[in-house]
């Protein structure tokens, strides 16, 4: 793609990067076939190629974002399926992130939309506030019928649509809090390594048992696990909302505490059980490439970051010899398959654990969660969820496995055509169960035996 940035514009490192990305695009359109919003809406401007043109025009002409440009970029899930498909290696992720930053700096959204976005950016990264918000939502949920409904087929959401979506995501009950920051869990038997485990923000409120399963699995296999004190949200949520300063502040804070821990008692890896967070942490090196004080440390942290399945695959785990033949539909989270290019490892580990693993048709298409997307774009998110659930149902699973809390919540909201809800568990919960841990909370009521792999 030909670009026409001026020399003055190219003095900006971000514009230099945008220029490199744009020049790789050859207009082939392969990306449109795997873009969820284009598949649903059929609008070229709701495809990666269309959005690339919009962002190019905005950056090249230093043009303020218009409402129409904002609408189409806001509809992007940042699922990165286009990057897996693209034969030219266009880094759409970094380009659309730059577009989002420009929008947040230069576009004045309607006041009610600004309020909703500010609330999400304030509450979601803070577990204490998020827990309080979930409790409040539980009390408000019975009154959701009082909210005015949008006309059928409306794609552009109203404030009431977003409030309804927020309330729908709130669980009926919340689990007890998991272990507190600052704790260290010693390895069982001979110590073979030491890792930090990302505690997360929303996940530690909605499903602390995921990290508890990871701790059990890792310590059982000789790995000491530390929950680093003063760790923050990774910055992923605000980063994808275009709130660059907030995201970078959180990244720097985490880099400081993780580097201190690595320089102290040492770290072999920073383990992440939420793939959306993992994709962002692995990108810290790029995000802070121009920060002289943090560029080198950010690269070091990005290199240490590992999805839990990546790390477990390198351990000498004793897998169960018997098979219970439970059918697991593996939902490949976009941030894991497209963002981190981890596709086979989770399925291989589940298979070694004695499960019958089935791929979900159209596995490249997003479930519609995408961070805050299912709140900010509830209609598109709901349509993607329905499509994903139908595809999962076609595999007739006993349980669904996923590697990202957002996907787990999104899929867990829906039932199949028979009205049956699928138990949804994190991949690490199933691996822990197979090697001696308790069954996942979501599946306990449907299992006859207390352990998979037990005699």
The predicted-structure confidence for 198-252, as pLDDT tens digits, reads as follows 999 999 999 999 999 999 999 999 999 999 999 999 999 999 999 999 999 999 9
Q: Confidence band (pLDDT; 50, 70, 90) for 160?
A: confident
- Average the pLDDT over 87-107 and give the result: 96
Say whether 393 sits in a helix, a strand or coil: helix
Q: Is the pLDDT of residue 153 over 90?
A: no
The end-to-end CA distance of the chain, in Å, is 62
Same fold, 184-313 and 327-446: no
Q: Is the pLDDT of residue 397 over 70?
A: yes
More confident residue, 54 or 325: 54
**Domain limits, the chain:** 7-106, 111-169, 184-313, 327-446
- Average the pLDDT over 339-364 and give the result: 96
Question: Which spans in 265-307 are helix H?
Answer: 275-281, 284-287, 295-304
Please give the pLDDT value at position 149. Answer: 80
- From the list 121, 120, 118, 116, the residue with the least C-alpha distance to 159 is 116
Q: Confidence band (pLDDT; 50, 70, 90) for 142?
A: confident
- Tell me which CATH code domain 327-446 carries: 3.40.50
Please give the pLDDT value at position 255. Answer: 98
- From the list 268, 250, 249, 296, the residue with the least C-alpha distance to 196 is 268
More confident residue, 416 or 318: 318
- From the list 265, 202, 212, the residue with the least C-alpha distance to 234 is 202
> Measuring CA to CA, how many Å separate 50 from each of 44, 92, 137, 421, 445?
5, 12, 37, 37, 47
Q: Is the pLDDT of residue 446 over 90?
A: no
Q: Confidence band (pLDDT; 50, 70, 90) for 35?
A: very high
CATH class of the domain comprising 7-106: mainly alpha
Please give the pLDDT value at position 145. Answer: 79
R_g of the chain computed on alpha carbons: 22
Structure tokens at 303: 């290199």
- The CA distance from 320 to 324, in Å, is 10
Quick count: other Cβ atoms within 10 Å of Cβ 400? Answer: 25
Give the domain 184-313 fold.
Glutathione S-transferase Yfyf (Class Pi); Chain A, domain 2 (1.20.1050)
User: For residue 217, how far is the Cα from the chain centroid?
Assistant: 22
User: For residue 452, how far is the Cα from the chain centroid?
Assistant: 28
- The CA distance from 122 to 212, in Å, is 26
Mean model confidence pLDDT for the chain: 92
Quick count: other Cβ atoms within 10 Å of Cβ 1? Answer: 16
- Average the pLDDT over 171-181 and give the result: 88
The secondary structure of 108-147 as a DSSP string is ---HHHHHHHHHHHHHTT-HHHHHHHHHHHHHHGGGGGGS
């Amino acid at each position: 793609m030909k670009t026409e940035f001026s020399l003055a514009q190219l003095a900006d490192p971000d514009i230099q990067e945008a220029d490199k990305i744009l020049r790789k695009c050859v207009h082939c359109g392969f990306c449109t076939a795997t873009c969820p919003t284009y598949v649903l809406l059929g609008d070229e401007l709701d495809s990666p190629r269309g959005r690339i043109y919009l962002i190019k025009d905005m950056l090249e002409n230093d043009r303020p974002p218009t409402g129409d440009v904002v609408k189409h970029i806001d509809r992007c899930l940042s699922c990165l399926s286009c990057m897996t498909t693209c034969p030219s290696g266009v880094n759409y992720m970094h380009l659309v992130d730059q577009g989002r930053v420009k929008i947040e700096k230069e576009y004045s959204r309607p006041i009610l939309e600004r309020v909703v976005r500010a609330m999400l950016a304030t509450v979601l990264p803070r577990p204490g506030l998020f827990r309080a918000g979930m409790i409040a939502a539980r009390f408000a949920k019975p009154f959701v019928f009082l909210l005015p409904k949008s006309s059928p087929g409306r794609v552009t959401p109203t404030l009431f649509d977003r409030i309804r979506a927020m309330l729908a995501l709130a669980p009926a009950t919340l689990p007890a809090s998991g272990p507190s920051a600052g704790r260290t869990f010693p390895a069982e038997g001979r110590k073979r390594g030491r890792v930090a485990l990302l505690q997360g923000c929303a996940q530690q409120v909605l499903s602390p048992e995921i990290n508890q399963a990871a701790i059990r699995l890792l310590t059982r296999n000789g790995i000491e696990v530390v929950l680093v004190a003063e760790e923050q949200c990774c910055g992923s949520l605000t980063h994808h909302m275009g709130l660059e300063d907030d995201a970078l502040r959180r990244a720097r804070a985490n880099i400081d505490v993780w580097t201190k821990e690595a320089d102290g008692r040492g770290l072999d890896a920073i383990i992440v059980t939420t793939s959306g967070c993992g994709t962002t942490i692995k990108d810290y090196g790029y995000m802070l490439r121009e920060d002289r004080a943090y560029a080198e440390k950010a690269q070091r942290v990005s290199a240490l970051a590992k999805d839990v399945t990546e790390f477990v695959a390198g351990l000498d785990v004793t897998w169960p010899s018997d098979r219970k033949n439970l059918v697991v539909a593996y939902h490949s989270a976009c941030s894991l398959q497209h963002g981190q290019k981890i596709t086979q490892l989770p399925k291989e580990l589940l298979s070694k654990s004695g499960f019958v693993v089935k791929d979900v048709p159209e596995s490249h298409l997003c479930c519609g969660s995408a961070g805050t997307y299912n709140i900010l774009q509830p209609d598109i998110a709901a349509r993607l969820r329905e499509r994903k659930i139908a595809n999962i149902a076609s595999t007739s699973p006993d349980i669904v496995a996923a590697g990202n809390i957002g996907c787990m919540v999104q899929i867990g909201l829906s039932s199949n055509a028979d009205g049956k809800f699928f138990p949804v568990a994190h991949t690490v919960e199933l691996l822990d169960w197979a090697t001696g841990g308790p069954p996942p909370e979501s599946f306990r009521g449907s299992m006859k035996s207390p352990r998979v792999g037990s005699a």
